Chains A and B, each alone.
Chain A
């Protein structure tokens, strides 16, 4: 049997084992190990296992992940998210659907200190859902805005998914971060437009909230100065080359910790909780990376990435159509799999095709993150939907999954529009990285 045939069988077996709910990281390790053993030799596969895991766990580049995760956890437990929400509420609360708009804006702002999509969704569900319920917002609009807005945390730097993509494809993490800023703003604008249109069609969906004076608005904005300063320090240090990504993450942790302590908003219990939550998330991600590395070694010896790239290059199809097919595959995959797992699994196959077609790797990274962002709000997996469902039941009581899924539909449409805009105008993504790198 040819290595490619063994590779295809390996992938099919892996997909079958996925259905047993065995952790994705374990499955990738198991299939990669056995496949590599069959194709090369089992002594070689046995030597591969410890080396790959040790290399993944002791990679300096990957130390960025626990630190950025910790930064987000401290921001959450230190009450920074609530402050961000209050400011957005002060400015937007008085217009129809204003609270949902404030939620979306806060998701983008919170994404600037937290690199995880479910964490952003959970945070905003805790902070935003009770307020929207209080002002009589429809559950579909409020939950939809929280679940969809949470996805913006994946694209607004610092983003864990972008870090992983950068490491897998050997792209500058700084360039990827900076390229995510305009698309994040574009998506925020589209989501806000989406809320506006929804409330124009049916004003009962999002009634007006309280009105605030200019002085109150300015006061709330000034209250955010220290948080914004931390974000500016972290990002500018990274973009101007003063910090490595790990250093910027560590400075970010120190900054957020200092702000939370000075404001007396972080308790010892909250601090310890942040540390333990970070350990859980980081171990999950690093183990996933270790598994993906083992599976990647197996994939490399099957020559599948090379064969697929050659096959696709030989197709008599325009490049945008091939790209469309790839995006569609990511969308379908995102409906069933976690975005990190999906990216780690598929990048070795699709990345060479995309670069062969002449697309910019940075542009592709942002597009893929946006597409997988759709996956976090679509059934049947839709992790953000379940996060919002779980958290909302705790903070506002009864809410149905159907309401949430109905609520995300307009935002899903807005995401599709955003992706089309970014495909037609790649400059929106590439302008900043070309300017700075």
Chain B
């Protein structure tokens, strides 16, 4: 099990790097388009689409990292008044719901990708098959869900395995 969790954490680390590369890619394509359009009157054909694909990948690859960093905002008002033990129990319950929700999104995202592939949906200008992107998104949600599952299991085993 430890090996699997270790693999997951390493995976999110690599995905984070890919996310950062995509972020710079989105910025570079947009800047290049503005420059070429402004100076040479030669905009990059489909630059909006390329930037959008980079943006989607940026967010997708950062999903597991956002969980590791616990960046999603929650209302702490009541919980922080409770004992550590109760806080832990509440956390594991909410994480179970979060895991189920993300698992459903993962499953439906892959179904959505298959539907898109079967109906032959292409992007408007560059005519790229967008279902690949949805498959990537589904995979990222899968890693995200598994990382939540890892926290739940570690709560019950009572061991924070050193990875």
> Could you tell me which A residues sit within 8 Å of B by CB distance?
17-26, 29-30, 33, 46-47, 49-51, 53-54, 57-60, 62-63, 66-67, 70, 242-243, 246-247, 250-251, 253-254, 272, 275-276, 278-284, 286-288, 336-338, 340-341, 380-381
Contact = CB atoms under 8 A, between A and B. Distances in A.
Contacts of A380: 77
B143 interface: no
Contacts of A67: 26-27, 30
Contacts of B109: 49-50, 53-54
B71 A284 contact: yes
A63 B55 contact: yes
Contacts of A22: 74, 94, 97-98
A273 to B, nearest CB: 11
B20 A283 contact: no
Nearest to B104: A49
A70 B53 CA distance: 18
B72 A284 contact: yes
23 contacts: A19-B77, A22-B74, A24-B74, A26-B98, A30-B97, A51-B112, A54-B109, A60-B48, A60-B52, A66-B26, A67-B30, A70-B23, A247-B34, A250-B26, A250-B51, A275-B24, A280-B69, A280-B71, A283-B59, A287-B66, A336-B75, A336-B77, A381-B76
A413 to B, nearest CB: 25
A279 B78 contact: no
Interface string B70-95: 01111111110000000000110110
Nearest to A255: B31
Given A20-B94, A22-B97, A247-B34, A66 B60 contact: no
A21 B133 CA distance: 32
Contacts, number: 172
Interface residues of B, number: 52
A422 to B, nearest CB: 28
Nearest first, the 3 A-B pairs at minimum CB distance are: A23-B72, A250-B30, A22-B94
A282 B93 CA distance: 26
A63 B56 CA distance: 9
A398 B23 CA distance: 38
A47 B94 CA distance: 23
Nearest to B138: A50
B66 A280 contact: yes
A284 B73 contact: yes
Contact of A57 (B59, B76, B79, B91): B59
A173 to B, nearest CB: 16
Given A26-B72, A283-B65, A284-B73, A60 B51 contact: yes
Nearest to A281: B71
Contact of B52 (A63, A254, A276): A63
Given A19-B75, A50-B134, A63-B55, 8 more contacts: A22-B94, A23-B98, A26-B97, A47-B108, A54-B137, A250-B51, A279-B19, A288-B73
